[in-house]
Structure 1
Amino acid sequence: MSSLFVRDWANADTGTGPAPSPAEKPIYYVIAGLSLANIPFILYIIAFRNYLPIKVKNVWVTSLIGLGSTFFNVSYGPVSGSSGYSGIFSNCYFWLAWAFQLFGLGILHSALLLRLIVYYRVFIRRTSFRRSGNRLANFWHKYWPFFLILFPYLFSTILSHALKDKFAVITMEVFGTKICTYTESVAYYLIGYYYILVLVGLFLYLSMRKVAKAFNEFKLALWTVTTFALNVIVETALLFTGSSIYAWGRLLPTILLFVTYQTHFYCIILVPIYNHIFRREDAVKELLDDMRQDGILAKKVHIGNIHRNLYNVDNTNSSFLGSARQDSKMGESSTGKMESVPGSGFQYQEIHPPHNATTESLAVEAQGAHGGDRFVL
């Protein structure tokens, strides 16, 4: 994200200084290649989205995280200057305003924060994503935070085109490296918004950690917050030290951002994909057992059946869950019976939370519900 940060180029000697490192291009191409490998993974989880261990990862949000990470890492090279600035990398507006900012940061940050918002709505607000039989209304009710978070990125992208050169997106050559960057006003607008997202993420995590940490699908929440906070701290340090005029000041964020964002995506999808290929039926049984334990925990902490939204499952009844065994064999939806899955003969029940249940009381019960710290972050 260092390209968003204003560098003190005006006071720099653009003729002499630290030369670009010969390692920058090879490192960029390796990172770009690994990032483009996200596309087959995304297509795979979409193709087998009815396989329960993949379905519970919320395929569409996870796909957006992978897509955003791909755009971000591929566009970071031309934006920072690591890839050079010729041929297909010479269009500053495309790489900075569209690929890097909107389709990279915009989609990635919106999808990551949406995962935290889903947790917050389940554990604190205790609201369901299904409000009516209208699919469009249910879609909007669930995903409107994504579009709200994305809007400032869309606004600044359109603004970059409307204001043209000198007012939004500029290119210049510094110490032999051609740079594509924002003017101060646009850059600080985006920096400020990034800090707002970090603070929102911290608030969401801290407000629900005591209650939610015992649930399986909450385990990645800490990594989400850490990713936001770590990246913004490093980028701010590079900004105020002026280190991005040096090769190491460009390579450090390039590698760090790739590792943090890609690790988050891999943590979500690699295990379900591996299970689908090598241990399809066993993985379904294990997941059903985890869901059963979460159902017992949900009853103890009085959040009803709202927790089923964590699994992106609208009908968490026995007939639906029973189809998981058939999905594990066929890779597509069918109508199996729950009783055919050993150890999974239970039903989620419609348990309404008492009005006097507090966050503190839920936290006490959640901490011991799974027997110790099995799922503690």
Structure 2
Amino acid sequence: MVETNILFRRVPNADTAVQAAQQLKSTVDPIGQLDRITIYVGASLHAATLLLLIYAFFNRKYAPIRAKNILLTGLVLFAGIMVFVGDIATNGHVELVGVWSKCKVWCLWFRVFFAYTFSAAIGIRTYALYRVFVQHQPYRGFGFYVPIIGMFALVLAFCLTTQFISDEKTVKYVPELEFCTYVWAFRGACLGLLWVIWLVVFYFVFMIRNITSSFNERIESIVCCILALTIILFTTLMHTLHPEYPLNQSYRVANTFIDFCMCNVVIVVILGYPCFQCIFNRERYLEDWTAKLRADGLKKEYKVSTNTRSNTYPYAAMDDGDDEFQKSPAFWAARASSCQSIRTGTGWARMLNLQLAA
């Protein structure tokens, strides 16, 4: 049967394609069923993960979910979806004609820029933990936002500068083979900046290795870093050893699968457990989670205020350097029983604006 879907038709002249492939010392695998399956599986996984995020958004008042910072997690998923769209073009899963042949759009902005955005969003989560738990500084203010703004400014400057450089020196379209190829210098610069971003993330994960958190953020950060290290190594080796990998069906499919699997696994690691508990064990898990939060507060770096008149726990917060933090657990228990609010500045749960129902 002749494939009629324009997304999956390969139309270059066969003789021309063979000659071009010989010049690249490569072979050309036509777009086929495996490419179609890759797109469908990736789209389905992203759709399922999006449903998870939507559920979390509508249940964001549930404290264990709210603690996951839904907006930042949404940015991670959005960036991952954009990378997947970029992969469809840059990895050669569709016929690169018409709008699909705009290599700089798909490679630079969808593939590169949003890969940086994805990485930076995870980095912000880790940096927030470092700032609050290690530096005992607020999750806001000049000192918090300057590094984040600086990182995004660097990424944006890199992409904007590349946009105005000739395609011959960055990423170009090969019409004979209908695929996009990176120039070596640009390829190295993209991978180098990606490594720099993740090395910064690895540093902050190392710095928070000893914190105790009721939100499991440390474990989530470690899992994300392990996934990222695996994928970055794979991508670096792929671009180094097989720079024309989009012409090989096995290589391009593997590259795309690894990318969209990482995105979806990261979101599930962050939101999966609290959402599962919200569905099947809502009240019991909230009680256990709140009890653990309060216990951590008495033992480590949280403070929990209990207001019996309002029947709520307004917030649990970290030490912001005040003298009262050094007082004993008995002091805090007595103060909580008298319905007085614990003095705190800018702690972990205030950072998340938690409202913990009793």
Which bin holds the TM-score, normalised by the shorter protein?
0.7 to 0.9
Helix, strand or coil for the counterpart of 1:163?
coil
User: Given that residues 136 and 321 in structure 2 are in contact (C-alpha distance below 8 angstroms), is that contact kept between their aligned partners in structure 1?
Assistant: no
Counterpart amino acid of 2:305? N
Alpha-carbon distance in structure 2 between the residues aligned to 1:346 and 1:31: 39
Counterpart AA for 1:49: R
Amino acid at match of 1:207: M
Query: Which residue, out of 119, 127, 130, partners 2:129?
Result: 119
Native 8 Å contact 2:133 2:318 kept in 1? no
Is the 1:96–1:181 contact (alpha carbons within 8 Å) kept by the matching residues of 2? no
Please, which of 165, 168, 172 is the counterpart of residue 166 of structure 1? 168
Distance 2:319 2:207 in 1: 25
Contact 1:124 1:208 in 2 (8 A): yes
* Alpha-carbon separation, structure 2, partners of 1:80 and 1:117: 32
CA–CA separation in structure 2 for the residues paired with 1:181 and 1:150: 26
Structure 1 residue 269 corresponds to structure 2 residue 243 = no
Question: 2:335: which partner in 1?
Answer: none
- SS of equivalent residue, structure 2 residue 289: helix
Tell me: CA distance 1:266–1:347, structure 2 relative to 1, closer, same or farther (3 Å).
Answer: closer
Pick which of 17-26 and 105-114 moved more: 17-26
1:129 and 2:139 matched: yes
Which position in structure 2 is the counterpart of 1:135? none
Which residue identity lines up with residue 63 of structure 1 in the other structure? G
Counterpart for residue 305 of structure 2 = 317
Aligned to 2:30: 20
Secondary structure in 1 matching 2:172 = strand
CA shift in 2, pair 1:32/1:90, >3 Å: farther
Q: Give, in whole Å, the separation in 1 of the partners of 2:152 and 2:199.
A: 16
**Residues 65 and 275, structure 2, Cα contact 8 Å, conserved in 1:** yes
Question: Within 2, Cα distance between the matches of 1:350 and 1:208?
Answer: 16
The reply on whether 1:75 has 2:86 as its aligned counterpart is yes
Code of the aligned partner of 2:188:
Y
Distance in 2, matches of 1:84 and 1:63, equals 30
Cα distance change, pair 295–79 in 1 and its aligned pair in 2 (3 A) = same
Unaligned runs of 5+ in 2: 1-19, 327-358
Residue in 1 that maps onto 2:95: 84
Deviations 1:158-187 (A, max 9, x none): 22332243233311157x4x2224333332
Does 1:50 pair with 2:61?
yes
Q: Distance in 1 between matches of 2:320 and 2:184?
A: 53
The CA deviation string for residues 247-288 of structure 1, in whole angstroms up to 9 with x for no partner, is: 222122211222222101111122333333343322321221
- Three-state SS of the structure 1 residue aligned to 2:86 is helix
| Greater Cα offset, 30-39 or 70-79 | 30-39
What is the alpha-carbon distance in structure 1 between the residues aligned to residue 78 and residue 275 of structure 2? 17
Structure 1 residues 13, 54: CA separation in 2 closer, same or farther (over 3 Å shift)? same
Letter in 1 for 2:92: G
Q: Is the 8 A contact 2:31 2:94 kept in 1?
A: no
Output the CA distance in 1 between the equivalents of 2:94 and 2:299. 51
How many percent identity over aligned positions? 19
Aligned counterparts of 1:31 and 1:338: Cα–Cα separation in 2 = 42
Larger Rg: 2
Pair 88,156 (structure 1): closer, same or farther in 2 beyond 3 Å: same
Distance between the aligned counterparts of 1:24 and 1:254, measured in 2? 10
Q: CA RMSD in A?
A: 3.4
1:213: Cα distance to partner? Answer: 7.7
TM-score, structure 2 as length reference: 0.72
